[in-house]
Structure 1
Amino acid sequence: MESNENILEVENLKINFKTYAGTVKAIRDVSFNLKKGETLAIVGESGSGKTVTTRSIMGLLANNAVVEGGTVMFHDQDVLKMTEKQLQDLRGAKIAQIFQDPMTSLDPTMRIGRQIAEPLMVHKGMSKAKAMAQALDMMKLVGITNAENRINDYPHQFSGGMRQRIVIAIALINYPEILIADEPTTALDVTIQAQILDLMRELQNKISTSIIFITHDLGVVAGMADRVAVMYAGKIVEYGTVDEIFYNPKHPYTWGLLSSMPTLETNGDELPSIPGTPPDLLDPPTGDAFAPRNSYALKIDTEKEPPFFKVSDTHYAATWLLHPDAPKVTPPVQIVARQKQFAEMQKKLAAEKLSHPVEEEEERQ
């Protein structure tokens, strides 16, 4: 169950990469928190900084990465100041990660039962026999059929969907407090994708882990996340609850991402796309980095970076369009349609609550 307790707090994170071409300013002042038991989705195009941000949480930054500033507080400890030994104790035990391609995440020469059991033997000093017994239980929990007979199989003997279940089993075997899922369903077909997402939701309810879900697929976010952070060019440009981001988005970049996502109402017309490409972070632009691709850009967007404007207690967006003096603009038709759809849904829910007050009271008791 989600609580109000913050399990992770990232503040003013700045990460650069030293390259032959110069210094890439990959993460430019990123702040967010993660509550116990919630799912936070971080969305954005490739290169927006999603993976680098979460790798800093695991202490897995590349050798040419330089942390220019900020903190990553897990409970009362700054992960960025941990020793390698402390990080090794953290990874897999307290914070675990599911990677994008299950085949490259698994050791092709090791039986999968041993791979699932290994974190227990490393982090908890558990005997091989006991760890293997728990690995078998976890295999059943993640839905691997005929687990008793398959525990000694190798990764190549499983389908893509089953391999991803094995990767999830390895990540969850120590019941971590935080699970980072980096595009965990990208390599899978849509049916298997849905099964894996259902499985993650189910397991989250059972072990109360918090999830950071990295994706560029907003369709996945709708059914998975409690809150959403939208990233662009190394910065978070909007964050809010999943309903606020889907049905009342305020940043033009979020409008672009949502407009390019098909819905059940989408007909044969071509989907809108965001023109242009993300900026070169060797030399980040002055002002709002999205301005060159933004058809709603104001003059100030090219001169000064927008601060976060408050939309609600849980919803903030960094766009000059929210300034009191900014001209009023109408969002794209797809966004307006979503807002109407949400308003109708809210009315329907309110009407249902009014018509069944007694039942709800009974349920509460």
Structure 2
Amino acid sequence: MSEPILQVKDLRINFKTFAGVVQAVRGVNFELNAGETLAIVGESGSGKSVTSNALMKLIPEPPGIYESGEIIFNGRDLIPLSDKEMSKVRGNDISMIFQDPMTSLNPTMRVGRQITEVILKHKNISKSDAKKRAIKLLDQVGIPMPEKRYKQFPHEFSGGMRQRVVIAIALAAEPKLLIADEPTTALDVTIQAQILELMKEIQKTSNTSIIFITHDLGVVANVAHRVAVMYAGQIVEYGTVNEIFYNPKHPYTWGLLGSMPDIDSNSDELLRTIPGSPPDLTNPPKGDAFAARNEFALAIDYEKEPPMFQVSETHFAKTWLLHPDAPKIPIPEAVAKRIEGYLGKENVLNGEKTIRN
């Protein structure tokens, strides 16, 4: 088996604030292979965006502190690198698509120039060749009349088209890893579907590895190979997309899946929510951080943090419910029905079912 393109080992990131030290990321581990899409999901404040920004060393120091861990990209740990050394990695090897395209684009510059600047910085080619590549990129990301659009400003594009421009910029230097931080949140559902299809096509044609950050598990079903579920700065469940959807093991994952809107559900039916709020990470709770919101919590959940139990060769979950002595609690029926309704499948727990083509 080939070496993973990215390995994150025991990553811990803190932030010094007036209220105390926020333990934003608490021992995160995951791997990413070439040509693979990993989705990192969780509520706001779970540590998803801090983790993704850390991969490009975009955490400002201070107030941020890389407390411990390794981010090994192509065999090299990025954490010890200086900002000058990281500038050669950013854009060239790792690129990022942010949530709001208007914060990523310079409103005073034509979009073509914004793309060609990235190409010229990272590739040893002429300005005319850079322009040709920029126009080709605009066409590749589905922007009609790319020669004309090349000369236009960001305000002349719709929200969906601006996000396509941002994707073109991210692809300009042909990165090996693309990080997409909630890239469709600000878009309507029709444009969202188009952007997701575009990213899937990019991943297939260029063999680019993608980390997709989102709070929407419905999006995950369409784009990911593997899923990491984050809660309170930790990964609490990790597995293939089929394992997470058809055989989820952590009560928090059950809650996220149960919160997905179902197009076939009765209009009078209330949408399920996870009770309570995430913990204060300036003072993380003793034991399992999800215990206070978990209707299936055991006594040990309030005393001791659970280890990461192995469900299969590729599936892991951080819950005491997987301990051999724990009571056997099946996935709640209401959650199973919600998943079935969303995915249009009859048997949620059938591991042979396939979501992603």
Please state which band the TM-score falls in when normalised by the shorter chain.
over 0.9
Tell me the SS of whatever aligns to 2:184. coil
Higher helix share: 1
Tell me the SS of whatever aligns to 2:5. strand
The reply to whether residue 13 of structure 1 matches residue 18 of structure 2 is no
Aligned to 1:290: 290
Is the Cα–Cα contact under 8 Å of residues 259 and 332 in structure 1 kept in the other structure?
no
Tell me the SS of whatever aligns to 1:96. strand
**How far 1:251 moved relative to its partner?**
0.2
Distance, in Å, in 1 between the alignment partners of 2:308 and 2:59 is 28
Tell me the SS of whatever aligns to 1:103. helix
Distance, in Å, in 1 between the alignment partners of 2:352 and 2:329 is 26
Tell me the SS of whatever aligns to 1:263. coil
The reply to whether residue 240 of structure 1 matches residue 245 of structure 2 is no
Q: What do the CA deviations read for 1:111-163 (whole angstroms, capped 9, x no partner)?
A: 00011111111112432221111000000111111111111100000000000
Distance 1:348 1:259, change over 3 A: closer
Aligned to 2:331: 331
Which structure 1 residue ranges, 5 or more long, are not aligned? 350-365
Is the Cα–Cα contact under 8 Å of residues 247 and 335 in structure 1 kept in the other structure?
no
Is the Cα–Cα contact under 8 Å of residues 321 and 328 in structure 2 kept in the other structure?
yes
Q: Partner amino acid for 2:57?
A: G
Aligned to 1:318: 318
Distance 1:240 1:346, change over 3 A: closer
Q: Partner amino acid for 2:4?
A: N
Distance, in Å, in 1 between the alignment partners of 2:245 and 2:37 is 16
Distance 1:36 1:160, change over 3 A: same
**How far 1:335 moved relative to its partner?**
3.4
Distance 1:253 1:345, change over 3 A: closer
How many residue pairs end up in the alignment? 347
Farther-moved stretch of structure 1 (339-348 vs 306-315): 339-348
Tell me the SS of whatever aligns to 2:134. helix
Aligned to 2:195: 196
**How far 1:336 moved relative to its partner?**
3.3
Distance 1:279 1:346, change over 3 A: closer
Distance, in Å, in 2 between the alignment partners of 1:40 and 1:319 is 21
Is the Cα–Cα contact under 8 Å of residues 306 and 319 in structure 1 kept in the other structure?
yes
Q: Partner amino acid for 1:289?
A: A
Is the Cα–Cα contact under 8 Å of residues 336 and 348 in structure 2 kept in the other structure?
no
Is the Cα–Cα contact under 8 Å of residues 255 and 335 in structure 2 kept in the other structure?
no
Aligned to 1:44: 42
Q: What do the CA deviations read for 1:46-103 (whole angstroms, capped 9, x no partner)?
A: 0000011111110111221111110000011111011212100000010000000011
Distance, in Å, in 2 between the alignment partners of 1:348 and 1:325 is 30
The reply to whether residue 58 of structure 1 matches residue 56 of structure 2 is yes
Distance 1:346 1:246, change over 3 A: closer
Distance 1:49 1:18, change over 3 A: same
**How far 1:105 moved relative to its partner?**
0.7
Q: Partner amino acid for 1:341?
A: E
**How far 1:347 moved relative to its partner?**
7.1
Q: CA RMSD in A?
A: 1.6
Q: Partner amino acid for 1:192?
A: I
**How far 1:201 moved relative to its partner?**
0.6
Aligned to 1:148: 147
Aligned to 1:164: 163
Distance 1:348 1:43, change over 3 A: closer
Distance, in Å, in 2 between the alignment partners of 1:185 and 1:270 is 25
Tell me the SS of whatever aligns to 1:6. coil
Is the Cα–Cα contact under 8 Å of residues 56 and 86 in structure 2 kept in the other structure?
yes
Is the Cα–Cα contact under 8 Å of residues 47 and 233 in structure 1 kept in the other structure?
yes
The reply to whether residue 341 of structure 1 matches residue 346 of structure 2 is yes
Distance, in Å, in 1 between the alignment partners of 2:329 and 2:192 is 37
Q: Partner amino acid for 1:250?
A: K
Farther-moved stretch of structure 1 (11-20 vs 324-333): 324-333
Distance 1:190 1:238, change over 3 A: same
Is the Cα–Cα contact under 8 Å of residues 242 and 351 in structure 2 kept in the other structure?
no
Distance 1:344 1:294, change over 3 A: closer
Distance, in Å, in 2 between the alignment partners of 1:306 and 1:212 is 26
Farther-moved stretch of structure 1 (62-71 vs 237-246): 62-71
Aligned runs of 1:95-106 on 2, under 5 Å?
95-106=94-105
Q: What do the CA deviations read for 1:199-247 (whole angstroms, capped 9, x no partner)?
A: 1111111111000000001110001000000000000000000010011
TM-score of the pair, normalised by structure 2: 0.94
Distance 1:52 1:334, change over 3 A: same
| Identity rate, percent | 60
Distance, in Å, in 2 between the alignment partners of 1:348 and 1:228 is 16
Aligned to 1:94: 93
Tell me the SS of whatever aligns to 2:95. strand
**How far 1:330 moved relative to its partner?**
3.1
- Structure with max Cα Rg: 1
Aligned to 1:126: 125
